[in-house]
Amino acid sequence: MSDASVLLELAEADYVILRIKKQLDELPQRAQLLELRTKKAEVDAKGQQVAQIRHESEMTIKALQDEEATLIEETASAKKHVESTINYKEAAAYNKKIEGFAKRLEKIEFETLKQMERLDKVATVEAQVSEALAKLKTQDDSLLGAYQAQAVALKREIAEEQKLRDDLTKKLPDDLLVRYQKACESKGGRGAAHIEGIHCSGCHVELTEGQLEKLKKGGQISECPFCQRLLVVEV
């Protein structure tokens, strides 16, 4: 097998690897999964905000309940003082305190109800968040399964072509392989081409008769004067 033949097979293997990698990158499920996971992150963030609101409301209710318990105790204590004192001014002072406690207890009841209503709304949103996350997970699992099935098949093809490529590189002289690898790096992974009629198969530029003649005199493997890929003149 000539170096020219090996070079063309190597270029074809590299082309196939590039094509399959492009297929892998462009699998529709990939973009759909990214979109789904962006939505999931947004829903998660909403869930965290709601959880924070719930925590704040629960802490507020706890504080109101503690204050209510304290005021009930203080009210009971003040009433005892009123019942036990014979001093009018002292009794009036305690009655005024009792009235203040009663007003504050009314406010506590109102504020507690507001927080309870807030918790009801939070529970509704939490249920919506939970439902949305469940739906997103179902969609994610389905897409991921389809993506992985196709990705595994494509990666298997890449591995097979890569093995073929590795075997081919061992058949080329070191200097020619170095030239090919450099051409690949500068030409997006396609470092070799061949003459198709009067065109370079890599850049598709038409070669003049003089250029063709010069290339043929240069041996089986030359270089395209336009794209600088290694150019197989004849196999």
Q: Tens of pLDDT along 117-135?
A: 999 999 999 999 999 999 9
Instruction: Give the residue ranges of DSSP H helices in the chain.
Output: 3-25, 28-84, 88-169, 174-186, 209-217
pLDDT of residue 210: 93
Tokens of 135: 């739906």
pLDDT of residue 132: 97
Nearest 5°: phi and psi at 221?
-120, 120
The domain made up of 25-159 has a fold known as Helix Hairpins (1.10.287)
Q: Tens of pLDDT along 161-202?
A: 999 999 999 999 999 999 999 999 999 888 999 999 999 999
pLDDT of residue 218: 80
* pTM (whole model) above 0.75: no
- How far, in Å, CA of 13 to CA of 215, rounded? 25
- How far, in Å, CA of 231 to CA of 4, rounded? 9
Residue 235 scores a pLDDT above 80 = no
Percent of the chain with pLDDT over 90: 91
- How far, in Å, CA of 3 to CA of 179, rounded? 13
Sorted by where each begins, the domain ranges of the chain are 25-159, 175-232
